[in-house]
Amino acid sequence: MTKRTNNSLYFNIKEQLLKQIQSGVYTVGEKLPTEADLCELFSASRTTIRMALSELESQGILERFQGKGTFVKRKELHLIQTRSFAEDVLMNGKEPASVIIEAKVMPAETPLHELLGVKLKAPINQLLRVRYADNEPLLYETTHIAWDLAPGLANDYKDGSLFSFLESAYKLKAHRSVEQLKPVLADKTAVKLLGVKEGSPCLQVRTFSYLEDDTPLEYSFGVFRGDFPSYTIERQFE
């Protein structure tokens, strides 16, 4: 009988904490009260509180750090790059957005002209965008596309999936891409655009996309903020 009562109490505490997290009482990255404070708050034993916290941790809602406390965990983001960032984010239950910071035509310098397969100084489109999930800046990326492939892109593209726009406006369909990822420290651009601290860990992603005949379609350089627990990136092109 006692066991059933304790289990019921731990479950109720877990559900109350979950509702508080979902309602914003405790936000992502925020530290929860100490176990002692929770014991007093819920009139429960330390063992019961620990059971509730452990289950929320196993569900990926909380994370605990030795000597620091218990925090609301940022949801892991699984990016499945089928065709658009918006679709990827929506699949994770988040609201996507993209803001163009700069769009211009520039001469291709080394090594861009080699990466895009154009002559040195040939005109190329450059787009600098910040991508958001639930109004939170997730990454910034600079994309380069040869002017000969997409003349006027820097002026004509406004928002939405870039690959979809390239296909509808220029009949350019991405066939495959190669991505290179490595950990980096946040530079001044990341500080300005992503709101992270200079020197904090980030993830750099270089993307090379190609048409079916292996003509280079685009080269992108991006930086993900590093305070998401992990990213899974998969690209599929029909």
Domain with residue 56: its CATH number is 1.10.10.10
**Confidence at residue 3, expressed as pLDDT on a 0 to 100 scale:** 40
**Confidence at residue 99, expressed as pLDDT on a 0 to 100 scale:** 93
Same domain, 56 and 88: no
**Confidence at residue 58, expressed as pLDDT on a 0 to 100 scale:** 77
Residue-wise DSSP of 176-211: EEEEEEEEEE--HHHHHHH-PPTT-EEEEEEEEEE-
Same domain, 120 and 56: no
Structural domain including 196 reads 77-235
Please, what is the average pLDDT of the chain? 84
- pLDDT bin (cut points 50, 70, 90) of residue 77 is low
C-alpha–C-alpha distance, residues 154 and 29, integer Å: 37
- Choosing from 42, 72, 102, the residue where a domain stops is 72
Q: Is the pLDDT of residue 50 over 60?
A: yes
Same domain, 166 and 192: yes
What does the angle CA 100 – CA 221 – CA 29 come to, to the nearest 5 degrees?
A: 75
Same domain, 87 and 101: yes
Q: What is the per-residue pLDDT across 116-133, written as a single tens digit (0 to 9) for each?
A: 999 999 999 999 999 888
Number of domains making up the chain: 2
- pLDDT bin (cut points 50, 70, 90) of residue 152 is very high
Same domain, 86 and 67: no
Q: What is the per-residue pLDDT across 2-41, written as a single tens digit (0 to 9) for each?
A: 343 445 788 889 889 988 887 778 887 889 999 999 999 9
Same domain, 115 and 155: yes
**Confidence at residue 27, expressed as pLDDT on a 0 to 100 scale:** 82
Q: What is the per-residue pLDDT across 181-230, written as a single tens digit (0 to 9) for each?
A: 788 899 899 999 999 988 888 888 888 898 999 899 999 998 988 876 55
**Confidence at residue 1, expressed as pLDDT on a 0 to 100 scale:** 35
Same domain, 48 and 150: no
Same domain, 53 and 8: yes
